[in-house]
Amino acid sequence: MKPRKTLIAANWKMHKLVHDAVVYVKQLQQEAGVFDDREVLLAPPFTALPAVRIVMERNDFKLGAQNCHWEEQGAYTGEISCGMLKDAGCDYVLVGHSERRHIFGETDDMIRRKVNAAFKHKITPVLCIGEVLEEREAGKTLQVLEDQLKQAVTGLTPALAEQLVVAYEPVWAIGTGKTATPETAQEAHGFIRKQLAAMFDKGVANAVRILYGGSVKPDNVDALMARPDIDGLLVGGASLEVASFKRIVHYQVAGGKN
């Protein structure tokens, strides 16, 4: 089994002007320890990408965008292509975040195209999937995860699929302060990994990093990261301040994963 490198991602959403983004990145790079077992991914708004790229000096820090369009170029007012993101220095792009799905009407078909476009430009897609509260209460969580995953990865070769990052983000936990318990998150992550094994093979399933997102905070990070199939985190609100995100980056799992 290949070791999976931890990925701790900050999704700033529609927050921070260019100057604030630059100050944050410089401070975090200075203050955070240097790790060889984890990567730190920062996803600022589009406007701050080039400036953050310039000040991002550490190899364990990566740059990501929060969205992309699937076409190369053309008459798509307001959209940004993966070629443009590559040009701005992005290593990763978030795809299918629930806010994109629910506020902006993104469909599974659009999300599949975005995943493919990202890979075409050698940008790693972070595919976000997750159930809404009504789906959880109706016992449909695993079915929703299976459907969203399948529709997004259909047609990928195993060689590409193993590079994918999946973020499990239960919609009821995002920005609400209601984190999934480590057990609930582990159950979903284990299921996603099983699905990947069934859709591709065990090698792919073991290689794909599966992040948890939804009200991750300094006080719940250690217990989440202790679970075997939680390979990292996608952090919104608690990533906006250096102090809290630094604590999350410095998560500790005593005695290894359980």
Residue positions counted in the chain = 258
Identify which of residues 55 and 240 has a Cβ nearer to ligand PGA in the complex. 240
Scanning 57-65, 74-82, 108-116, 169-177 for contacts with ligand PGA by CB under 6 A, the matching segment is: 169-177
Choice from 213, 232, 242, 249 touching ligand PGA (CB under 6 A): 213
Scanning 31-39, 48-56, 66-74, 234-242 for contacts with ligand PGA by CB under 6 A, the matching segment is: 234-242
Site string for ligand PGA, 138-157 (x = CB under 6 A): --------------------
Out of 39, 69, 97, 189, the active site residue is 97
Q: Rounded to the nearest 5°, which phi and psi values hold at 194?
A: -60, -40
Q: Tell me, yes or no, if 241 is annotated catalytic.
A: no
Site string for ligand PGA, 172-191 (x = CB under 6 A): --xx----------------
In this structure, how many other beta carbons lie within 10 angstroms of the beta carbon of residue 160? Answer: 18
Please say whether the beta carbons of 34 and 60 come within 8 A.
yes
Q: Give the single-character DSSP code of 23.
A: H
Total binding residues toward ligand PGA, as defined by CB under 6 A:
13
Tell me the three state secondary structure of residue 188: helix
- In the chain, the largest separation of any two C-alpha atoms, in whole Å, equals 54
The reply on whether position 67 binds ligand PGA by CB under 6 A is: no
Tell me how far CA of residue 3 lies from CA of 83, 178, 186, 204, 222, in angstroms.
30, 30, 18, 12, 19
